[in-house]
């Protein structure tokens, strides 16, 4: 057991960056990235190194303005029936614009997160398969459920969908009746279909899916 833990090999890694007005608020934007860390052989997974991951994500903290309030959560689990191969997650919650009026637009970190996630994706085994419509719709539901655990996926309904084929990206709108809307960009990092951006907004707010 100790050998497996010391080796720190993981087959999957989920990275989450969430942005909220304060550490106690519900995030308005959540960015997700699923990786398959590369090792010497596909079945071996890759070594989990949280320091190198955080170094890739450091520009995101810089872009949030300083000194930002943040919470970092890092965890991994290993199973003996998988030869010690593990699963890991790393999440960062950023509190931004804490002192700004509520009417003030929140800072958009999408571009800087794209760049950071693209750098992280280069350390992972590539996913060749493009997103199908079914993948995109189910992926949008799953992304909202992960980003906002308090939301029951059964309460969501599909409002719109758009396939940006040349970019390999899907834009999917989901909503809760008389509550919130969630605009989900699947593949928001170019050539990385396992990336997603969930934007939470009031039901009446309109968002440009092309520019997100």
* Whether residues 66 and 138 fall in one domain: no
Cis peptide upstream of residue 67 (ω within 30 degrees of 0): yes
Helices H, strands E: what count in the chain? Answer: 4, 9
Residue 64's pLDDT is: 82
Element (H, E) at 39: none
- Select, from the ranges 64-78, 82-96, 124-138, 187-201, the one with the highest average predicted confidence (pLDDT): 187-201
The reply to whether 111 and 20 lie within a common domain is yes
108 and 172 co-located in one domain:
no
Q: Are residues 142 and 57 in the same domain?
A: no
Instruction: Give the domain range for residue 168.
Output: 127-212
Q: What is the pLDDT of residue 129?
A: 75
Same domain for 118 and 143, yes or no, is: no
What is the SS3 assignment for 147?
helix
Q: What is the pTM of this model?
A: 0.88
**Average pLDDT in the 99-110 region?**
74
Q: Count Cβ neighbours within 10 Å for each residue of 153-173 and write b for 16 or more, e otherwise.
A: eeebeeeebebeeeebbbbbb
Domain count within the chain: 2
Taking 50 as the threshold, does the pLDDT of residue 211 lie above it? no
**Do 35 and 80 fall within a single domain?**
yes
Average pLDDT value for the chain: 85
Residues 45 and 106 in one domain: yes
């Amino acid at each position: 057991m100790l050998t497996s833990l010391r080796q720190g090999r993981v087959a999957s890694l989920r990275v989450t960056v969430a942005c909220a007005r304060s550490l106690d608020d519900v995030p308005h934007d959540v960015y997700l990235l699923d990786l398959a860390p590369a090792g010497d052989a596909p079945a071996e997974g890759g070594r989990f190194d949280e320091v190198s991951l955080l170094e890739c994500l450091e520009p995101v903290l810089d872009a949030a303005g300083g000194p930002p309030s943040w919470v970092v959560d890092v965890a991994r689990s290993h199973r003996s029936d998988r030869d010690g191969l593990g699963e890991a997650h790393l999440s960062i919650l950023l509190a931004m614009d804490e002192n700004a009026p509520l009417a003030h637009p929140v800072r958009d970190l999408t571009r800087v997160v794209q760049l950071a996630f693209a750098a992280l994706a280069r350390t992972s085994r590539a996913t060749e398969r493009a997103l199908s419509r079914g993948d995109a719709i189910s992926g949008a539901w799953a992304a909202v459920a992960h980003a906002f655990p308090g939301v029951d996926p059964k309460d969501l309904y599909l409002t719109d969908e758009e396939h940006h084929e040349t970019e390999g990206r899907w834009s999917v709108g989901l909503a809760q009746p008389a509550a919130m809307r969630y605009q989900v960009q699947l593949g928001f990092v170019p050539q990385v279909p396992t990336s997603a951006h969930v934007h939470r907004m009031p039901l009446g707010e309109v968002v440009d899916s092309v520019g997100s």
